[in-house]
Amino acid sequence: MSGSSTILELREVTVRFAGLVALDGVSLTATEGRVTGVIGPNGAGKTTLFNVVCGFVRPDAGEVRWRGRALRRHRPHDLTRLGIARTLQGLGLFPGLTVLENVMVGAEPHARAGFWSGLFALPRADRDEAALRERAMARLAELGVAGEAARPPGELPYGVQKRVALARALVAEPDLLLLDEPAAGLSAAEMDELAELIRGLRGGPAVVLVEHHMDLVMSVCDQVVVLDFGKVIASGPPDRVRDDPAVLDAYLGEEVAGA
């Protein structure tokens, strides 16, 4: 529908850890159908920002607004219900489940509805389960890994497992997808594939991509926010941010692969 409405907004968010200011009055917005990148050198506050949105960390000042309302006491287990999905640094796949089962787990609230109806009416539960299975297979197919549905994730190359983790995040049809350093541990070729996948999400959920790799962020994002020592030092379209002297300064001395 309206492809340009703000769905997530951080207003002047400050987080302190025992005297250290990890985020210092950070504001940003994420918009439906667009990819927003958050980059910055080590210790800039990227993960802290991610954790604030997920409800792991409470801001000391400022607020997180979701669909125009302040989120004050949300917790990570509220995210799916709110319409927020995330992939964590690393994989977080369950080794004892198949690829398909791992993806089905991502739609937890729907699955739970199936559980309750299952207590009273088995056919309904079967129907829910079948529908969920179908949705999970559809996500796997979109990400090009449907052929691996029956295998345990541990047998698959890392890049393929990353796709499975992404399918799991998408199966609940979130309005916001948070990606925490999805490129960590990927080869250059896998990173290109990831960039393609993220570009393919454009027009779908709002995406917030927290990443250390400046070149990946620049190639997939519609807008970029650059953090350094907890402060926003630049924001705007990628080509403008890329050439900003403050950004070049912040990244000086960092290995910026391919940049």
Ligand X SMILES: Nc1ncnc2c1ncn2[C@@H]1O[C@H](COP(=O)(O)OP(=O)(O)OP(=O)(O)O)[C@@H](O)[C@H]1O
Give the interface with ligand X as residue ranges (CB under 6 A).
17, 20, 22, 40, 42-48, 212
Residue 7 · residue 68 · CB < 8 Å: no
Q: How far is the CB of 181 from ligand X (least distance, A)?
A: 7
Of 39 and 164, which CB lies nearer to ligand X in the complex structure? Answer: 39
Between 46 and 74, CB nearer to Mg ion: 46
Residue 208 near which of ligand X, Mg ion, none (CB within 5-8 Å, type-dependent): none
User: Which residues in the 35-64 window bind Mg ion by CB under 5 A?
Assistant: 46-47
Tell me whether residue 192 or residue 254 sits nearer to ligand X (CB atom).
254
- Which CB sits closer to ligand X, 48 or 161? 48
* φ and ψ at residue 18, rounded to 5 degrees: 40, 55
Residue with tokens 């949300």: 74
Question: Cβ of residue 22: shortest distance to ligand X, in angstroms?
Answer: 4
Rounded Cα distance, 224 and 2, in Å? 21
Q: How many CB atoms are closer than 10 A to CB 107?
A: 24
CA distance 254 to 259: 11
Give yes or no for residue 229 binding Mg ion (CB under 5 A): no
Sort residue 191 into left (φ over 0), alpha (ψ -120 to 50) or beta.
alpha
When CB distances are held under 5 to 8 angstroms depending on the partner's kind, the choice from ligand X, Mg ion, none that residue 17 binds is: ligand X
Residue 20: contacted member of ligand X, Mg ion, none (CB under 5 to 8 Å, by partner type) = ligand X
CB of 56 to ligand X, least distance (A): 9
| Token pair recorded at residue 2 | 């309206």
Residue 178 CB, nearest approach to Mg ion (Å): 13
Question: Quick one: 16 or 124, whose CB is closer to ligand X?
Answer: 16
Complex with ligand X: residue 153 or 230, whichever CB lies closer: 230
Give which of ligand X, Mg ion, none residue 45 binds (C-beta under 5 to 8 Å, depending on kind). Answer: ligand X
Instruction: Give least dist CB 89 to ligand X, A.
Output: 8
Token pair recorded at residue 164: 């499975």
**Cβ neighbours of residue 194 under 8 Å, at least 6 residues apart?**
159, 162, 182, 183, 186, 216
* Residue 242's binding partner out of ligand X, Mg ion, none, with CB under 5 to 8 Å set by partner kind: none
What token pair was written down for 44?
A: 């800039």
Q: Which does 164 bind (CB under 5 to 8 A by kind): Mg ion, ligand X, none?
A: none
| Strand 61-66 to 6-17 pairing | antiparallel
- Provide, rounded to whole angstroms, the least separation between the CB of residue 19 and ligand X: 9
Interatomic CA distance for residues 165 and 170, integer angstroms: 9
- Token pair listed for 69: 């309302």
Q: Which residues contact 2 (CB under 8 A, 6 or more apart)?
A: 32
Chain contacts with Mg ion (rule: CB under 5 A): 46-47
